[in-house]
Amino acid sequence: MENRPQWGTRAGFILAAIGSAVGLGNIWRFPAVAYENGGGAFFIPYLFALLTAGIPLLIMEFTIGHKYRGSSPLSLARMNKKWEWLGWWQVAVSFVISTYYAGIIAWSGSYAFFSFGEKWGKDPEGFFFGNYLKLAETPGDIGGIVPGVFWPMVLVWGVTFFVLLKGVKKGIEVASKIMIPTLIVLFLIIVIRALTLDGAAQGLDAFFKPNWDTIADPKVWVAAYGQIFFSLSIGFAIMITYSSYLPEKTDLTNSAFITGFANSGFELLAGIGVFAALGFMANQANVPVSEVVAGGVGLAFVVFPRIISEFPAFNGFFGFAFFTCLVLAGLTSLISIVETYVAGVQEKFNISRTKAVLVGGGLSALLSILIATRGGLYFLDAADYFINQFGVALAGLVEVIAVVWVMKELKNLQNHTNEISDVSVGTWWRFSLGIITPVVLGYMMVQNLVTNIK
């Protein structure tokens, strides 16, 4: 038996998996996606996607990693030599994500400190794009490094390297055990405070009000699947890598359910918190909530600073807490993405973990300097677009088809997980992975292509 690193406890593994899943996508992507795709009605496709794609695929990835004991390229190669490339594709997607994810964490770190004294002043939008990012006028113009972004990024990479160099048990597990509980407590404080602000009820009303017409719209289903995939970090090789560090006797199915529900629970909490805060903002400005809804970069760095400035009291503290949540959620995800290719490189070239961290992580850190230039936001947008259009769902689709239909591995995997898990998987699992997921994902891909060609 090779000398593979191992998690100290199952709780440690689950916290690390939750750490990967709970990321920026939960806080700034989910609330807006749900709102735009039917509000309360969105929960039906969302739950359907969680139960027919999210959790089944998570069980499959956990089982692959556990059975074949390798990062994604090695596990797939052990299944069938011909499919190793798929693992590398997933590793490449993770690599690209890591370069810009690090940038966003760095911005959030800066903003945690800007919260004291509300450094963004009266014009958070102008401050963010102009004073902070110093965004170049024309896309593609690199225009030099912005020190205010560069140094926080050095810090983000420093922490990531530190954790990864310490290893799986002493590094990733310990970091997850500290960061995830802290994140949950801080976030709960913010949500409770947001719920007691004037206008919170209007915000929640806007968020939960179901628009049933959307249920019949395929785009909404596509959005639900997309959100579940990105949010659960599946199709990225991450969960395969993480479960390859589990001891032989462990409950895989149960771990997948806990991870899946914890991630969605956090997402729901974020939706409630964000919309309560948006309701407050709409109330202050005397406009309908629909006029202040935002997602992504705009929500975090333009709308939230505004909300924080209008807070009745303790503005600095709440701003600091919010941006610290972004940092913690982001860091645990970044660590998981980098671990994925560190493990891949280490196994492929048979080098030490330290070398793999320094070379693999170093390459990504170097490339991510692009995000710290005056053209950074343009690179980020381009990379993010590319990943969302061609990376995530496509890699997931190819993975499912390869494992289920080409290599016909599903039965083996089912036996493997059922042997060690309390809850057995059966028809529901096989049907979800064999039929529902490929059909829906295949449809997503075709639709994407069509809209791209148009």
Report in angstroms how near the CB of residue 184 gets to ligand PHE at its nearest: 15
Q: What is the DSSP string of 1-55?
A: -------S-HHHHHHHHHHHHSSHIIIIIHHHHHHHTTGGGGHHHHHHHIIIIIH
Residues 406, 269: Cα–Cα separation, whole Å: 39
**CB neighbourhood size of 219 (10 A):** 13
Nearest residue (CB) to ligand PHE, 280 versus 323: 323
Interface stretch with ligand PHE, choices 22-30, 204-212, 254-262, 372-380 (CB under 6 A): 22-30
Q: Which of 21, 156, 331, 444 binds ligand PHE (CB under 6 A)?
A: 21
Interface stretch with ligand PHE, choices 135-143, 154-162, 225-233, 312-320 (CB under 6 A): 225-233
Q: Which of 25, 73, 226, 438 binds ligand PHE (CB under 6 A)?
A: 25
Range 155-194, binding ligand PHE (CB under 6 A): none
* DSSP letter assigned to residue 216: G
Nearest residue (CB) to ligand PHE, 244 versus 333: 333
Helix (H, G, I), strand (E, B) or coil at 373: strand
Report in angstroms how near the CB of residue 340 gets to ligand PHE at its nearest: 8
Residues 442, 3: Cα–Cα separation, whole Å: 39
Report in angstroms how near the CB of residue 126 gets to ligand PHE at its nearest: 27
What is the separation of C-alpha 359 from the centre of its chain, rounded to a whole number of angstroms? 24
Q: Which of 19, 23, 109, 344 binds ligand PHE (CB under 6 A)?
A: 23
Which of 26, 445, 56 lies closest to 231 in space, CA to CA?
A: 26
Nearest residue (CB) to ligand PHE, 42 versus 280: 42
Report in angstroms how near the CB of residue 94 gets to ligand PHE at its nearest: 6
Interface stretch with ligand PHE, choices 7-15, 178-186, 229-237, 364-372 (CB under 6 A): 229-237
Nearest residue (CB) to ligand PHE, 26 versus 63: 26
Strands (E), 123-239: none
* DSSP letter assigned to residue 140: T
Residues 369, 145: Cα–Cα separation, whole Å: 8
Nearest residue (CB) to ligand PHE, 118 versus 339: 339
Judged by CB under 6 A, does residue 24 bind ligand PHE?
A: yes
Which of 305, 312, 345 lies closest to 326 in space, CA to CA?
A: 305
Nearest residue (CB) to ligand PHE, 311 versus 322: 322
Judged by CB under 6 A, does residue 333 bind ligand PHE?
A: yes
Contact 214, 37 (CB under 8 A): yes
**8: phi then psi, degrees, rounded to nearest 5:** -75, -40
Report in angstroms how near the CB of residue 388 gets to ligand PHE at its nearest: 11
Partners of residue 373 on adjacent β-strands:
145
Range 1-20, binding ligand PHE (CB under 6 A): 20
Judged by CB under 6 A, does residue 241 bind ligand PHE?
A: no
Contact 224, 230 (CB under 8 A): no
Rounded to 5°, the CA angle 316-320-321 comes to: 120
Give the number of residues written for the chain.
454
Interface stretch with ligand PHE, choices 109-117, 278-286, 333-341, 437-445 (CB under 6 A): 333-341
Report in angstroms how near the CB of residue 124 gets to ligand PHE at its nearest: 23
Interface stretch with ligand PHE, choices 64-72, 84-92, 332-340, 437-445 (CB under 6 A): 332-340
Residues 272, 21: Cα–Cα separation, whole Å: 19
Judged by CB under 6 A, does residue 26 bind ligand PHE?
A: yes
Residues 11, 173: Cα–Cα separation, whole Å: 9
Q: Which of 42, 120, 161, 230 binds ligand PHE (CB under 6 A)?
A: 230
Range 90-119, binding ligand PHE (CB under 6 A): 97
Is 437 buried (19+), middle (13-18) or exposed (0-12) by CB count in 10 A? buried
Q: At what angle do helices 392-400 and 437-453 cross, to 10 degrees?
A: 140
Report in angstroms how near the CB of residue 31 gets to ligand PHE at its nearest: 12
Judged by CB under 6 A, does residue 337 bind ligand PHE?
A: yes
Nearest residue (CB) to ligand PHE, 289 versus 398: 398
Judged by CB under 6 A, does residue 336 bind ligand PHE?
A: yes
Residue 35, CA distances (Å) to 164, 218, 393 in order: 37, 16, 22
Judged by CB under 6 A, does residue 234 bind ligand PHE?
A: no
Judged by CB under 6 A, does residue 322 bind ligand PHE?
A: no
Count residues near ligand PHE (CB under 6 A): 15
Interface residues with ligand PHE (CB under 6 A)?
A: 20-21, 23-26, 97, 230-231, 233, 236, 238, 333, 336-337
